[in-house]
């Protein structure tokens, strides 16, 4: 029996070893290397750089007005995108939870924007909104809604607006899937009991459905907050974040675009690594707050 247990353990370790090796190489090693770099002044344009400066990069970043400017812009996108994603995902989840002909096909079609890479969605919407040959202009012109083509992405406020729209279009399917799974886990007997007590559909929604969906809502909100807060692909492809050798668009520069500029344009590896960990820490703080206050509250009910 003892020999069998040892053989079993050896077999488990042997099977897990390739996966652990890959995770170590591609996850833990880069993370640790980035953390170490964040405490140095490494700059690829300065041969003598790479000395330890400890927390100097972090303090300099926190004292930069540009850091707080791009952080505020990222939070603005989150504040506009997150409610839209959750609301649209919840409403579609309610619809797809009902029985109707072709429900499986509709479910497959709804998740298509989420399946497509964000870069593809960004280029797709960039083409739709193009002021010279965009499909949106062509469609609206044909219906007589406009008398001349509009440059939808010309103004800075419009760029933020369309970034929110495209991010919502790209990501609403994920909270929809999470909330649909939560809806299907709610026993039908609870709705029947509420109906017997005289509750109508709206009252059942607010008194039964939403309270029981709190854990699912917490997961969806946490994941979508991180996705919107760390937005990069949509901004880069939709609003001309910056082509090779050109100036990065300052009106839609988010934290991740700022990080890209610092590392790949300015070659400040140490400062960029510190910024990466600041972004991670801010995301973790919000994630932990959501889990402790929303998810645990829903689980304890």
- pLDDT per residue as tens digits for the range 84-100: 999 999 999 999 988 88
CB 265 within 8 A of CB 248: yes
**Structure confidence at residue 244 as a pLDDT band (50, 70, 90):** very low
**Residue 66 domain-assigned (yes or no):** yes
Domain count, the chain: 1
- The H or E element spanning position 94 is helix 65-96
**Mean pLDDT confidence for 19-45:** 92
CA distance 147 to 155: 19
Domain range for residue 219? 55-299
pLDDT band at 201 (very low <50, low <70, confident <90, very high): confident
The whole-number average pLDDT for the span 261-267 is: 91
Choose among 281, 230, 226: nearest CA to 55: 281
Asked if residue 26 belongs to a domain, the reply is no
Backbone angles phi, psi at 156, to 5 degrees: -55, -40
68 is a domain residue: yes
Task: Please check whether residue 93 lies inside any domain of the structure.
Answer: yes
In a domain, 134, yes or no: yes
**Cα distance between residue 179 and residue 261, in whole Å:** 36
In a domain, 6, yes or no: no
Please check whether residue 30 lies inside any domain of the structure: no
Q: Model pTM?
A: 0.89
Output the domain CATH number for residue 125.
Answer: 1.10.3720.10
Residue 199 located in a structural domain: yes
């Amino acid at each position: 029996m003892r020999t069998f247990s040892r053989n079993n353990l050896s077999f488990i370790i042997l099977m897990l070893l390739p996966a652990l090796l890959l995770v170590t190489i591609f996850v833990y090693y880069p993370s640790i290397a980035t953390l170490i770099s964040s405490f140095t002044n490494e700059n690829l344009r300065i041969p003598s750089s790479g000395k330890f400066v400890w927390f100097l990069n972090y303090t300099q970043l926190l004292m930069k007005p540009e850091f707080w400017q791009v952080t505020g812009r990222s939070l603005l996108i989150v504040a506009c995108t997150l409610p839209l994603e959750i609301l649209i995902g919840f409403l579609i989840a309610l619809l797809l939870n009902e029985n109707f002909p072709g429900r499986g096909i509709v479910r497959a079609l709804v998740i298509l924007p989420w399946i497509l890479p964000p870069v593809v969605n960004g280029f797709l919407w960039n083409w739709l909104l193009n002021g010279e040959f965009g499909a949106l202009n062509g469609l609206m012109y044909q219906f007589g809604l406009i008398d001349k083509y509009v440059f939808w992405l010309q103004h800075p406020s419009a760029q933020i607006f369309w970034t929110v729209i495209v991010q919502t279009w790209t990501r609403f399917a994920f909270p929809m899937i999470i909330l649909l799974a939560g809806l299907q886990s709610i026993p039908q007997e609870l709705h029947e009991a509420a109906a017997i007590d005289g509750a109508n559909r709206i009252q059942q929604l607010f008194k039964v459905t939403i309270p029981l969906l709190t854990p699912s809502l917490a997961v969806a909100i946490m994941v979508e907050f991180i996705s919107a807060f760390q937005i990069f692909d949509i901004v880069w492809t939709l609003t001309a974040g910056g082509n090779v050798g050109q100036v990065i668009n300052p009106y839609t520069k988010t934290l991740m675009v700022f990080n890209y500029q610092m590392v790949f344009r300015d070659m400040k590896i140490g400062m960029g690594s510190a910024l990466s960990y600041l972004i991670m820490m801010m995301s973790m703080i919000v994630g932990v707050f959501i889990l402790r206050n929303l998810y645990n509250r829903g689980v304890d009910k």
